[in-house]
Structure 1
């Protein structure tokens, strides 16, 4: 999420989310902290979206639930189609969704936004050129320079050359593949690899891909039809996105070539191609359920072919490997990027990034959309193409740039951070809670309860010690040692006048040290002191 401010006007540029990794147990989605936007909602003139991927649209339902009044969202037809489906799922109504096209210009207060075509892994992707009284800002959005695009849409070099003549004071550019030294291959090359695999497969073919990768889905469908196979779509987001894409004319598949997953029992396996979710190893995805034998309608048997048409997002490698191993045990023939060119990125490689920098020739540059190593690599590319080192900015979340008369410098910080979503609701989960969850999952928990009398400074009965998920939980000698240690600690601390939380803290620390010394584990320790008369 990027926010542009000019005078009394504010515009949000993209509104995405992140997916959790192993450090976020129990968390389903991670949103940017958009409290600054809520606090300035009276100045918000609109939201502009470059394309329909989750990392650019996923926070919209949550933001618009919290806004005191709706503002217009501007995007291409495909982008708005996906947003509309998302809002319907969240029960959000009354938001103006305004379709724009590449080449169109809109005015949002004192901020003018011109949309220009880029090629990406989803139809309807655009970049945005912002013109303001303080200066001009170019945001590329996510892009690549595919010269043989599936839908015929190229990244608009003429628009970039025109922006260069006008003057680009600050450029924000996609850094995802800045560490990849070469050009990103064309999406057309994936189709060339998919066709013979599908044509020569003996059993059914299952293709797992991102549900929003409409160009990829089109190529799979084309290959299936040429091989005389019907197409089955399964997985909630895959079904939803294919319906939207077909309705809007971005996915062309004859009706008689699509089958419902519940009606395939009498179709020979060699006549089927199944499009499904699960390319990232998600445990509840269609592919994971097929591999585990729990999918309601589609099973995988020895001799079937599975194509994982995606690259694991960092952090998902283990989950994907787990699925591949399950498929291998079944006897499926598995193809991924390491075996054939069944996936190419939708992001520009280093040489493409240098081409864009050389065309635009921005005065100032800020790499965006990537991890720290990608941003640094992109900064080096900008410097190599002529941007002065002192004019290159790598910012952290919450930091800002101020643009005035063509000059750019670091501005004031604003409130930032992340918001966790669990289930369908925003949660109040803190980093402390996440640490507890991680500890519970990796080390287990020990619960200690003890009744004491503060009147007589004595222990009432014996402490109760309960283990859960601890490797030595059936070790009676360890349990007895902890009980004796707890009694000793409590007696000493009662004699020193310790009460309540202070008493619990002493017991917790002493037990943690004992467990670390005896079994080399540090489980979560919960201490409850019950005061009785």
Structure 2
């Protein structure tokens, strides 16, 4: 699959991350060299039944894999690294470049799938410079809700292209993390930037995002005034939040117990990399919890997004082997629901309240700060980088549109701004920019078995089954004699209650019988030769007839599944 670009043009496009929150994946290509920035997943909306993750369509990369020089990671969140194992299963030999924490998280994912030993991984520092024949890559430090976040600058023969990654300007970061490197951003800007791709998530927020340190103060105040046991739930990857929860617990004489595999791994990675300073004496295991007074324990766990199998959900519904909600427990949600998870989170909060816990959540309690910059930070980035062309990324359409308006206020001409869809290709030279075709960039669905070939037809069928139910038509036929030997019998699941719908079922049986009989009569009269598709034609006829009949009677569209048992063909 060839791009519609000239030999001297640089191609820039998103395989994921435009018009959506999640599955960030961006490509910069010049001639026979191609670099990828991030490879994330998206969490499914509620209508994607049975789907665990949504990833990008890697078809273009598969067809052009000999051009790929490396996968560069901005930071270690799932919407930026979650797709890496699936990408490497398709294209095994992609070198990965990532910061220390992202590297640790990626290694964990690859080890689970048996891909670690076959993958080339380079640990990045801000001052590293990776050079290929035509393209070269350097980095600048940003701040986000996870350590080791990097913006990426790709030098091309036509100019510098910058991808900010997720960022905010937190000038009082937690722990030993340095502040964002404004000097390096300004230096890149003063030397000339051809194109800026910038995070748009909080384009609707007119102010600066709160510092993570502000949230830390709130957490300390809340922990200080609670008498009973505390269950603290947040993203396992938010090391800053985890660190502040642990600090608050230790300052108030509470021991910390950790639940959830990803949270346990976060503690291991954080301690090894120096982001978490927790003496062994402050950590207790599950067996010791019940031996301590309630006001001397803080349980740190996963599940703040309502994930059914996460620790907090199992605690709420009473299926956790070691922990149950007790009267006087306080559960702190230190995160906001990500798109698609609001209903699950609300259900979890209700379950916890019903079990007797006091739940603290929401923005009004100041226990969460976004890792994404608001409009003032987006304008600051634009002023520092001073791009000639601008493409907003990482956001839904309305966010991209607002961000584009900010770019124009900051001096980027309107004709130099581009709101694209996934797959749209921007072709650039030092003095020109144009849309140049489209590459495949649809959604690919991953179920619990890790299967990634679930198409839209399957998703549609699952939705129909959940909303309209299932009707099964079973008949035994002798094709040679042209006889219906038994049936058709009709079974309903989730459509109508059989005992109360005998008239409807009887009418449907008669219609199905007539469809089958007419088909057999016509087949015998025409002496139709044996055809591999004859049974599929009959099934299609049954489906068409019953769909029209059942909708007329019930105004519902159940999934109709004919099962034809033949004695002779």
After TM superposition, the score normalised by the length of structure 1 is 0.96
State the alpha-carbon separation in 1 of the partners of residues 154 and 188 from structure 2.
Answer: 10
Residue 112 (structure 2) aligns with: 89
Matches within 5 A, 1:460-471: 460-471=485-496
Render the CA deviation track for 1:257-284: whole Å, top value 9, x for unaligned. Answer: 0112233221222111111111111111
State the alpha-carbon separation in 1 of the partners of residues 29 and 228 from structure 2.
Answer: 57
Q: In structure 2, the residue corresponding to 1:259 is in which secondary structure?
A: coil
Matched, 1:75 2:98: yes
Contact 1:201 1:304 in 2 (8 A): no
Residue 502 of structure 1, aligned match among 537, 540, 551: 537
Residue 461 of structure 2, aligned match among 436, 447, 457: 436
Q: In structure 2, the residue corresponding to 1:179 is in which secondary structure?
A: coil
Residue 295 of structure 1, aligned match among 320, 329, 339: 320
Contact 1:419 1:426 in 2 (8 A): no
Residue 13 (structure 2) aligns with: none
Residue 514 of structure 1, aligned match among 536, 549, 553: 549
Q: In structure 1, the residue corresponding to 2:437 is in which secondary structure?
A: coil
Indicate the structure whose relative CO is greater, using CA pairs within 8 Å and at least 6 residues apart: 2
Deviates more, 1:192-201 or 1:119-128: 192-201
Gaps of 5+ in 2: 1-24, 529-533
Render the CA deviation track for 1:361-389: whole Å, top value 9, x for unaligned. Answer: 21100001111221112111112222111
Matched, 1:20 2:44: yes
Render the CA deviation track for 1:277-331: whole Å, top value 9, x for unaligned. Answer: 1111111111100000111112111211001111101111110110111111122
Residue 284 (structure 2) aligns with: 259
Residue 242 of structure 1, aligned match among 236, 250, 267: 267
Contact 2:473 2:491 in 1 (8 A): yes
Residue 88 (structure 2) aligns with: 64
Residue 68 of structure 2, aligned match among 27, 35, 44: 44
Deviation at 1:41, TM superposition (A): 2.1
Q: In structure 2, the residue corresponding to 1:400 is in which secondary structure?
A: strand
Q: In structure 2, the residue corresponding to 1:421 is in which secondary structure?
A: strand
Matches within 5 A, 1:314-393: 314-393=339-418
Deviation at 1:480, TM superposition (A): 1.4
State the alpha-carbon separation in 2 of the partners of residues 339 and 355 from structure 1.
Answer: 27
Residue 215 (structure 2) aligns with: 190
State the alpha-carbon separation in 2 of the partners of residues 228 and 342 from structure 1.
Answer: 21
Residue 482 (structure 1) aligns with: 508
Q: In structure 2, the residue corresponding to 1:425 is in which secondary structure?
A: coil
Residue 407 of structure 1, aligned match among 422, 432, 437: 432
Residue 425 (structure 1) aligns with: 450
Residue 228 of structure 1, aligned match among 253, 274, 277: 253
Contact 2:43 2:340 in 1 (8 A): no
Deviation at 1:521, TM superposition (A): 2.3
Contact 2:128 2:138 in 1 (8 A): yes
Contact 1:204 1:272 in 2 (8 A): yes
Deviation at 1:248, TM superposition (A): 0.9
Contact 1:17 1:56 in 2 (8 A): yes
Render the CA deviation track for 1:217-274: whole Å, top value 9, x for unaligned. Answer: 0000011011110111101111112211111111111111011223322122211111
State the alpha-carbon separation in 2 of the partners of residues 268 and 441 from structure 1.
Answer: 46
State the alpha-carbon separation in 1 of the partners of residues 186 and 27 from structure 2.
Answer: 25
Contact 1:400 1:412 in 2 (8 A): yes
Deviates more, 1:109-118 or 1:340-349: 109-118
Residue 491 (structure 1) aligns with: 517
Residue 526 (structure 1) aligns with: 561
Deviates more, 1:135-144 or 1:354-363: 354-363
Deviation at 1:493, TM superposition (A): 4.0
Length, aligned pairs only: 532
Deviates more, 1:412-421 or 1:301-310: 412-421
Deviation at 1:182, TM superposition (A): 1.6
Residue 303 (structure 2) aligns with: 278
Residue 149 (structure 1) aligns with: 173
Contact 2:474 2:487 in 1 (8 A): no
Q: Aligned-residue CA RMSD in angstroms?
A: 1.7
Deviation at 1:494, TM superposition (A): 3.9
Matched, 1:160 2:218: no
Deviation at 1:426, TM superposition (A): 3.0
Q: In structure 2, the residue corresponding to 1:419 is in which secondary structure?
A: strand
Matched, 1:459 2:484: yes
Q: In structure 2, the residue corresponding to 1:21 is in which secondary structure?
A: coil
Deviation at 1:528, TM superposition (A): 2.4
State the alpha-carbon separation in 2 of the partners of residues 109 and 268 from structure 1.
Answer: 63
Render the CA deviation track for 1:499-521: whole Å, top value 9, x for unaligned. Answer: 53232222212222222232332
Render the CA deviation track for 1:416-441: whole Å, top value 9, x for unaligned. Answer: 22322223533321100111111112
Deviation at 1:120, TM superposition (A): 0.3
